[in-house]
Structure 1
Amino acid sequence: MCFTYVLYSSEFKKYYVGISNDVEKRLAIHNSGKIKSTKHFIPWRVVHVEHFGSKQEARTREKYLKSAAGRRWRKQNIEMGD
C-alpha cells in the first residue's frame, strides 16, 4: 500500500508532490526541515492524497502530477483554501 500526496505551502504558494506509505509521518519530516527540497518553504500541509496498491502505481501518478498536464489537473481539482 502506497500513497501519492500533494503538499502546499500557503506562505510561499508552492506545491510538493511525493509518495509514501505513511503520509502523516512524511509531512512531519517535511515540516521538520530535514528535506533539502522543501525546508525553505515550511510550513507544509497535505491538500490531496490518493491510495494505490503498489509503489509503482503511486510513482506513476506522482510523475503525472509533476507534469504540465498534472499541474493543470491540480489547479482544477485541488482547493487550497488560502
Structure 2
Amino acid sequence: MWYVYILSSKQKDWQYIGYSGKLKERLKDHNEGNVQSTKHYAPFELEAFVAVKTEKKAQELERYFKTGSGRAVLNKRIL
C-alpha cells in the first residue's frame, strides 16, 4: 500500500502533505529532522492518511491535495 499523509507541526501553525510506501518510517524521518523541507517545523503529529494501491495514485492524490480545491476537500471532509 501507498499512503498520502498530512502532518501538522506541534510548534508552529504549519501542515505538510506527502506520500510514502512506508508511513511509520517516513514520519520518523520527519520528526528526526532528516527531511530538508520539514526539518525547521519538527516535531510533527500525523493528522490523517489515505491508503491507495499504487505509487502513481498516491502521487496524483498528493498533487491534488496541494491545490486549492484539494485543500478545501481535506479541511472539510478529512480533517
TM-score by length of 1: 0.88
CA distance in 1, matches of 2:62, 2:46: 15
Q: Does 1:22 align with 2:48?
A: no
Report what 2:3 is aligned to. Answer: 3
| TM-superposed deviation, 1:72 | 1.3
Name which of structure 1's ranges 68-77 and 29-38 shifts more when overlaid on structure 2: 68-77
Report what 2:40 is aligned to. Answer: 40
| TM-superposed deviation, 1:77 | 2.9
Identity among equivalent pairs (%)? 30
| TM-superposed deviation, 1:24 | 1.1
Q: Does 1:69 align with 2:60?
A: no
Report what 2:31 is aligned to. Answer: 31
CA distance in 2, matches of 1:53, 1:13: 31
CA distance in 2, matches of 1:14, 1:78: 17
Deviations 1:44-82 (A, max 9, x none): 111111111100001110001100111112222344xxx
Q: Does 1:49 align with 2:63?
A: no
Structure 2: which amino acid aligns with 1:59? Q
TM-score by length of 2: 0.91
Structure 2, unmatched stretches of 5+, are none
CA distance in 2, matches of 1:51, 1:31: 21
The ranges of structure 1 where at least 4 consecutive aligned residues each deviate by more than 3 angstroms after the TM superposition are none
Structure 2: which amino acid aligns with 1:6? I
